[in-house]
Structure 1
Amino acid sequence: MDFTEYLPGEVTDRILSYLKASELSTFSCCCVTWREISNKDNLWVHHCMKRGWMRFGLFMNILQTDSTTSPKTNISNTSPVFHMYVPEETRLSPICKWKNVFIRVHHLMKNWEKGRYSSNMILRGHREKVTALDCNGECIVSGSEDKSLRFWDSRNGSCIHKLDVHSDTITKIVWKGNCIVTGCADSSIRVIDSTNKQMLMSFQGHGGSVDHLVIIGKKIVSAATDKTVRVWSLTDRKLLHIMRGHDDDVECMCSHGNQVVTGSWDSTLILWDIDKGKFIHHYTGHHEVINCCQFDDNKIISGSADCDIRIWRKSPPECLLVLSGHEGEVYCLVFNDAVIASGSSDSTVRVWSLNGKILHVLEGHLGVVRCLYINEERLISGGDQKKIIIWDYKKGKQLYVAHRHPTLLHLMWVDDTKLITASPERPGTITVLSFW
């Protein structure tokens, strides 16, 4: 007996809404009628929403995102390429949008989990070390000690444009919307239109290398080796504020809302209000340079050469916790709603709870752990000796080493489908690992 013949459609839909995705797939394989009944967006959008995959159908249309990988270039059984077999002649209706999204994203997540990726793209063109990198998903922009900016097609690795607008090493690149902002050791800031690759404006004023940049709305915030933080207007093309407070060079900077936090060689953190152009709070407690920091509405987390990580209450300023355990400088950190992860010169990655408890010590690197990336599914660490490791940070387990990564790395950029690194070697190279 086919129960769907005797029940109203809305009742059948309600029953099917209680099935797991795997059960719904099995149900659809039983017969043509059940396949058609289960081929509905309202059933599959629930499973995408439950897994946090809505962005793939709303903002990044994975249905129109072709794989960047050629199957011929892959080692046997490691190809990340997605193929969906659809008979030329079929009486079945087309797969609904959100089932299609679910199937493709499930395949993508399995690629990350199982280590199915290609590494057939090494981008060559810079004559010196690559010192800055950013990407919008489709195009990569890189800066180098050779003073040039290069734009690369992330799908085929071709250099699509070269721009010479700086007179010294390019130290920082930030890409937001159609706006690319670059900082340079010549103390200048350049603003470039990403669509036509033309320079729109230039800012001068810093007395040292501009090593840190963020874009907040229509403002640029920069920090340089002259110990100052400056706010510039993209609309009026002028300097708005010069903010002073550090006694030494700024080593790290991050933003949240209309505020930025800077960490310095003077061992302090400062929270700044960029609208008013003044510092809000000063945070003291570290004993060495602060290499990294991140913050949200309530807390600031910092890592230092004194081997400690500190969690601060943002306002009123107070050190809430000191996370000790690393035996070397803390070079990088990331956090989400569940955990904090830190990388150190002691070759370990440590995972902490938000209340300061050590959860996992992840070993596998040789040398400094320089880069970290975290999302809901995985933690990725990049370090010396060409090593990139993908971790299940919830279980404290190494999933795999991206062993086909061909070069050393000191910069890393990650999105849902690819992992991009830049080498500190000369001449500079960029490597793209594609998981789709």
Structure 2
Amino acid sequence: MATNEISESDSDSLCSSLASLGSSMYAVPNNLLQIIFRRLSASDLCHVACCSRWLRDATNQDSLWRPLCQSRGWEHYGTTTDLAKIASYGPSKQATGATEASHCSVTFQNDRIVTDDNTAGLTSTCRWKSAYMRAYHLNRNWATNCSNVKELDINMYRPHDVFSDQAFVDGDLLAMRTSDKTVHVFDIRKDTLECVIREDAPNKRGIIKIKDGVAVVSCSSGTVRAFDARTGQMLQVMETAGQGEFISSFFDGELVIVSTYDIWRYVRRDSRYIYVWGVQDGRRRLLTMDDATEIDGWREIDYRNKLLAAAHSDNYIRVWDARSGERLHKLKCPQGAFGVKLGDNVIVGFSADQNNALMNIICIFSLDTGECQKEISFLSANTWDPYLTNSLIMIVKKGRVFNSMFAYDLRGISVTRKTLKGSILHPTYTDHDNGSKFSFSVFDEEERRYKEFIFEATPMGLLRLGAFSRDLRDVEIIWMDEIRMLRYDTRHKRLLIHHYW
């Protein structure tokens, strides 16, 4: 990590060396300079940029900084999670961690980014260098547990009800389910209760989704209802085929995807259903099906960037354009397909070897062509859960004494130096759109305490960022995304919101 740090240390020796070259430096072809600069770390590029205005401009190139962002798993900080567009939550009471530096400042200083209106006449900082600087600052805040902490006393709103850990956050809005099956929506920046959605919401993970000010709730009645997340006004009602049992849901602000199974016909192979609606018109989008799909049903679905994927019991993975319903791919898995995840330009299928009960297979397909690019085999005598985030495939094995976790990159290479193990170990993780941060909860039976380990998924593997200890019935992490962490104090019915940006 030190090799990539953007340091402000003295670079006189480097500058002197370059200056001694005189005008010969300017004779080096630009394409050769770019080849040389691509071999430098972020810290090296910053040292070079300090030497002259010409070298600053030569190193201030997106072609140099974007690969550096990609190598750290930070490319999304310049695209889907653009930190330049997210306002900081500060200044406030700062968290005090054991590793926190005394000079810690949570808020990124925007004057570090050179803009067009600078008085020195410098060229503006390029987009991907700006993204790297912001991502580095955010990553340092996580690693040093440097955050602005807000406390939200939710007990004052429902003193006789219990808030569950079924929570969802989008922007400043937080939705939580209570024991009376209603949904409360809070503004965590203003510390206010925005509305109460009085629907019969089951106590299942994923029943609440919020995007762009619209809340979608999957109700026990089998209906899916959309609401204005700030006023509670109902916007749309979407009907399923019956009072099926809820499995999962996705919502991206435009399309609602819900999966259910029929609780009265669970012995039938075709008792699982996928529904796709447009939230604006409430109209159902029909998926292109074939006989095998209708007979065999599906085992798991995933949704990302308007694409819907389903792993079917006939050992095929089907991928649709969710808007049009057109089927784009029908991918054959080598053995019994039971899981699927969508990633950046890849479809990852998970199978169990039908000839060897201990052998499991991961297939990585190209999203563009559907070609199988890599197969990974691993042994597991126990059940396991797959996860895919930030180009990292994580497998959590469930054991009788403890669970364990290991990871692969999209080339099929193991990137786990040491398998994580714990008496109780599970990721605090819902949708891959949350980002790259997640935690594992490990129970220490001797001390009778949980410990929450915070990790970041990167293309190079799992990077440990920090840890929290808690009692058996103390504060637990209920939500994490790229810029914040929510911890729920069940004893005092309060939320602790850690803002790292």
Fold in common (TM above 0.5): yes
* 1:161-184 Cα shifts (integer Å, max 9, x gaps): 132241232642333445432213
* 1:258-277 to 2 correspondences below 5 Å: 259-262=307-310, 271=318, 273=320, 275-276=324-325
Q: Partners in 2 of 1:229 and 1:353 — Cα distance?
A: 30
The equivalent position to 2:149 in structure 1, one of 105, 110, 120, is 120
Q: State the match for 2:282 in structure 1.
A: 237
Asked if 1:22 is matched to 2:40, the reply is no
Distance 1:163 1:427, change over 3 A: farther
**Contact 1:362–1:396 (8 Å) recurs in 2:** no
Classify the secondary structure of the residue corresponding to 2:475. coil
**Contact 2:245–2:261 (8 Å) recurs in 1:** yes
Q: State the match for 1:255 in structure 2.
A: 303
Distance 1:392 1:258, change over 3 A: closer
Q: Partners in 2 of 1:370 and 1:185 — Cα distance?
A: 26
Per the TM alignment, residue 200 of structure 1 is displaced from its structure 2 partner at its CA by: 0.7
Q: How many residues align?
A: 417
Distance 1:27 1:239, change over 3 A: closer
Q: State the match for 1:150 in structure 2.
A: 184
Per the TM alignment, residue 131 of structure 1 is displaced from its structure 2 partner at its CA by: 5.0
Using structure 2 for the length normalisation, give the TM-score.
0.63
Distance 1:167 1:350, change over 3 A: same
Distance 1:198 1:91, change over 3 A: same
The equivalent position to 2:423 in structure 1, one of 343, 362, 366, is 366
Per the TM alignment, residue 340 of structure 1 is displaced from its structure 2 partner at its CA by: 2.0
Q: State the match for 1:164 in structure 2.
A: 197
**Contact 2:451–2:469 (8 Å) recurs in 1:** no
Per the TM alignment, residue 65 of structure 1 is displaced from its structure 2 partner at its CA by: 3.0
Distance 1:333 1:91, change over 3 A: closer
Q: Partners in 1 of 2:78 and 2:346 — Cα distance?
A: 31
Q: Which sections of structure 1, spanning at least 5 residues, go unmatched?
A: none
**Residue type matched to 1:120 in 2?**
V
Q: Partners in 2 of 1:308 and 1:143 — Cα distance?
A: 40
Asked if 1:182 is matched to 2:234, the reply is no
Per the TM alignment, residue 254 of structure 1 is displaced from its structure 2 partner at its CA by: 0.5
Q: State the match for 2:446 in structure 1.
A: none
Q: Partners in 1 of 2:94 and 2:491 — Cα distance?
A: 30
**Contact 2:153–2:493 (8 Å) recurs in 1:** yes
Asked if 1:352 is matched to 2:408, the reply is yes
Distance 1:400 1:213, change over 3 A: closer
Asked if 1:222 is matched to 2:258, the reply is yes
**Contact 1:133–1:141 (8 Å) recurs in 2:** yes
Q: State the match for 2:168 in structure 1.
A: 134
Moved more, 97-106 or 225-234: 97-106
Classify the secondary structure of the residue corresponding to 1:369. coil
Asked if 1:294 is matched to 2:341, the reply is yes
**Residue type matched to 2:258 in 1?**
S
**Residue type matched to 1:389 in 2?**
I
Asked if 1:389 is matched to 2:454, the reply is yes
Distance 1:294 1:124, change over 3 A: farther
Distance 1:40 1:159, change over 3 A: farther
Q: Partners in 2 of 1:8 and 1:91 — Cα distance?
A: 28
**Contact 1:124–1:430 (8 Å) recurs in 2:** yes
Classify the secondary structure of the residue corresponding to 1:106. helix
The equivalent position to 2:84 in structure 1, one of 56, 59, 62, is 62
Classify the secondary structure of the residue corresponding to 1:340. strand
Give aligned-pair identity as a percent.
13
**Residue type matched to 1:109 in 2?**
N
Using structure 1 for the length normalisation, give the TM-score.
0.71
Q: State the match for 1:418 in structure 2.
A: 484
**Contact 1:189–1:203 (8 Å) recurs in 2:** yes
Q: Partners in 2 of 1:379 and 1:110 — Cα distance?
A: 13
Q: Partners in 2 of 1:138 and 1:6 — Cα distance?
A: 54
Per the TM alignment, residue 122 of structure 1 is displaced from its structure 2 partner at its CA by: 5.2
Classify the secondary structure of the residue corresponding to 2:476. coil
Q: Partners in 1 of 2:492 and 2:200 — Cα distance?
A: 18
Q: Partners in 1 of 2:45 and 2:408 — Cα distance?
A: 37
Distance 1:234 1:164, change over 3 A: closer
Q: Partners in 2 of 1:23 and 1:259 — Cα distance?
A: 40
Asked if 1:328 is matched to 2:379, the reply is no
**Contact 1:189–1:210 (8 Å) recurs in 2:** no
**Residue type matched to 1:81 in 2?**
V
Asked if 1:108 is matched to 2:138, the reply is yes
Distance 1:246 1:333, change over 3 A: farther
Distance 1:3 1:94, change over 3 A: same
Q: Partners in 2 of 1:302 and 1:329 — Cα distance?
A: 12
Q: Partners in 1 of 2:379 and 2:458 — Cα distance?
A: 17
Classify the secondary structure of the residue corresponding to 2:419. strand
Q: Partners in 2 of 1:358 and 1:65 — Cα distance?
A: 37
Distance 1:256 1:435, change over 3 A: closer
Distance 1:14 1:57, change over 3 A: same
Per the TM alignment, residue 8 of structure 1 is displaced from its structure 2 partner at its CA by: 11
**Contact 1:268–1:283 (8 Å) recurs in 2:** yes
Q: Partners in 1 of 2:351 and 2:219 — Cα distance?
A: 25
* 1:290-332 Cα shifts (integer Å, max 9, x gaps): 5x5313666432378x8865335779999x8573334532134
Note the aligned Cα RMSD (angstroms): 5.1
Per the TM alignment, residue 105 of structure 1 is displaced from its structure 2 partner at its CA by: 3.0
**Contact 2:340–2:347 (8 Å) recurs in 1:** no
Per the TM alignment, residue 201 of structure 1 is displaced from its structure 2 partner at its CA by: 0.8
**Contact 1:301–1:312 (8 Å) recurs in 2:** yes
